[in-house]
Chains A and B, each alone.
Chain A
Amino acid sequence: MADYRKPLPQPTPETKPFWDGTKSGELRLQRCQSCSHVYFPPRPFCPECASRSVEWFKASGKGTLHSYVINHRPAPGFDAPYAIAIVMLAEGVKMMTNMVGVEQTPEALKLDMPVEVTFEQATEDITLPKWRPVGGAA
C-alpha cells in the first residue's frame, strides 16, 4: 500500500461520508427526503429540488456496465491497457470506475452486463469502489 502510485482522491467535507463508507466496505449514495431523488456525486442538497433535507443510504452495490474505453496511454501508476468504465447503478446514477476480475478486452467487457461493487484499499485512508462482473468473469 505504501507504494500506491495512482492518483488519489482528497475528500472534502461534503464527500467525506462517501469515502468513510468505502473504507468500511459500504457504497453510499444520497437521497432527497423531500422529492426522493437519488444522486451522485455527493453534495449536501438535492440537485433536483434544492432541498437541504437529504440522507445517506447504503446502495445496493448492483449495476450494469454502461460504457467504457480501454486506455492505451496510461495515467501515472497504471499499466496499459486498462478499461475506464462507467457503471449505471441500480439506483439510476452513473459512476466512473475500473473493472476488476475480468479481462480488459472488448470481448470480455460486454455493455449492459450485470456488475457488482467491490472495494480496493489504496492507502490507510482511501478505499476505492471498483466493479466486477456478477458471478465472476463473463
Chain B
Amino acid sequence: MKPGSVAVVGAAETTQMGVIPDMSVIQLHADAALNTLKDCGLTPKDIDGVATAGESPVAISHYLGIKPTWVDGTSVGGCSFMLHVRHAAAAINEGLCSTVLITHGESGRSRIGAGGWGAAAASLAGQFEAPYGTSGPPSSFTIPVLRYMKDYGVTEEQLAMVAVVQREWAGRNPRASFRDPITVEDVLNSRIIAYPFHLLECCLVTDGGGALIMTSADRAKDFPTKPIYIIGTGESVESPMVSQMYDFHHSTAFQISGKKAFAEAGITPKDVDHLMVYDAFAHLPWYGLEGLGFCKPGEGPAFIAEGNTRPGGKLPLNTNGGGLSYMHSGMYGMYALQESVRQLRGTAPAQVPGAKISVAQGVGGMFAAAGTIIMANERP
C-alpha cells in the first residue's frame, strides 16, 4: 500500500473487559462496534465495508444493519485483524468501499454463544498431533521453546522475566485483569502448565472485544478524532501444525510479514517508538523482537531481561500489559492494534511520551500466521 494513504479514525474496545457473563460473542462484537462508531461520530449506515474473524462478516453486517459493498472474512487466528487492516487499506485505495468497520468479540472466559475447540480427526493436526495429547495452545504453542532455549543458552528466569516486565506495564493500566507486581520467583513458583511454562507465563482467558474504523487519509481530517495513519503492512502464513513450523528458532511468517511492512513504511526498527507483540505465551515477544529485526537471533531474552522493554526502557513493549496481564480473549490481535492507536493518539493509560511510530505484530494459531501493522500519527 501507499504509506499514509489510509487512516484509523475510530477505535474502541468493549465497555467492560475481563469477565462479561451477560454478553454473547456477537454482542461483544456489536458493543465494541457501537463504541467505535460513537468514537468517530458515525452510525452503522455510514459503514460500507465490514471485516471480522470468528463470526462471519455476514452475521456482523446483518446484526448491525450494515449493507456493505465489501467484506473480508479472513480468519487465520489472532492476527486476523492485522490482515483485515491491510486488506481494508487496499480495498479503500481501490475504491471498493470508503469506510471500513473491523470487529472482534470473544467470550473466551464465559463461553456465551461460543463455538467449540479441537481439530477434526481427519485433518492433518487431528492425525499427527492430537493423538499425542495436545490440549489446546498451552501444550502446543509452547513446544518450540526448549529447542530455542537450549541453542541460545536461555534460562527459565529469562522466560519468567517476560511476565514480570509486562506486569509492570499492566500495573499502570486500570483496565488490566492483573495489576499487582510479580517477581521472577512468583512466576517460577506458579503452577506448571506445560513444562517449561508456568501459569504466569501463559495468557489470560477473558471476555472482551474491540473494533476499528478506517477510511482514506484525505477523508480522515474531517473526523473528530486524531487520524492514525497506516504506513506499513505485512502478512504471511506458515504451518497449520506447530510441529511442522519450518524452524523452531524463529517464525518464518513473522520474518516475511515484518520485512514487507518495514519496507513499505520505509523505516527500520530504530525509527520505532512503541511495539506491540502478540504475547499468548511468554516466548512470543522473543520471536517478535527477533523476527522483526529489533534483536539478533537469540538476543531477545536478554534484551527483555535487561529491562529494555519495561517502563522507562528504550523500547516500550506491550504497554497495555499484554495477553499475559491485560486481557486475552482468544484472538488478541485486536487489543494490540487498539493499544497502538491509543499510544499514537496520546491517550494510553501508560503513555509513552512523544510516541510517533508504533508497530503491532500479530500471530495466528500456533505460529501458523502473522500480520504486521505499522502506524504513525503524522502523515508521511
Give A residues with C-beta under 8 Å from B.
6-12, 15, 19, 40-41, 66-75, 78, 81-82, 84-86, 94-98, 106, 111-112, 122, 128
Contacts and interface: CB of A to CB of B under 8 A. Distances in A.
A15 B127 contact: yes
B131 A7 contact: yes
Contacts of B127: 9-12, 15, 19, 41
A93 B142 CA distance: 19
Contacts of B193: 72-73
Contacts of A82: 133
A97 B132 contact: yes
Nearest to A79: B133
A86 B130 CA distance: 13
24 contacts: A6-B131, A7-B133, A11-B122, A67-B145, A70-B194, A70-B195, A71-B138, A72-B194, A73-B136, A73-B139, A73-B193, A75-B134, A75-B139, A78-B135, A82-B133, A84-B143, A84-B194, A95-B128, A96-B128, A96-B129, A96-B243, A98-B133, A106-B195, A106-B196
Contacts of B142: 69
B147 A128 contact: no
Interface string B221-258: 00000000000000000000101100010000000000
Contact of A73 (B121, B131, B138, B143): B138
Nearest to B248: A67
Interface in B354-369: none
Which range holds the interface residue count of chain B? 35 or more
B192 interface: yes
Interface string B186-201: 0000011111110000
A122 B121 CA distance: 15
Interface of B: 120-122, 124, 126-136, 138-140, 142-147, 150, 191-197, 241, 243-244, 248
B121 A9 contact: yes
A98 B147 contact: no
Contacts of A96: 128-129, 132, 134, 143, 241, 243
A10 B120 CA distance: 9
B237 to A, nearest CB: 14
A6 B146 contact: no
A75 B133 contact: yes
A81 B128 contact: no
User: In this complex, which of A73, A84, A98 has the most chain B Cβ atoms within 10 angstroms of its Cβ?
Assistant: A84
Nearest to B145: A67
A86 B367 CA distance: 15
B132 A41 contact: no
A66 B245 CA distance: 13
Nearest to A104: B195
Contacts of B147: 66-67, 86, 111
Given A71-B139, A73-B193, A84-B132, 14 more contacts: A9-B126, A9-B131, A10-B121, A11-B127, A41-B241, A66-B147, A67-B143, A67-B145, A68-B143, A69-B195, A72-B191, A72-B192, A73-B135, A86-B147
Nearest to B195: A70
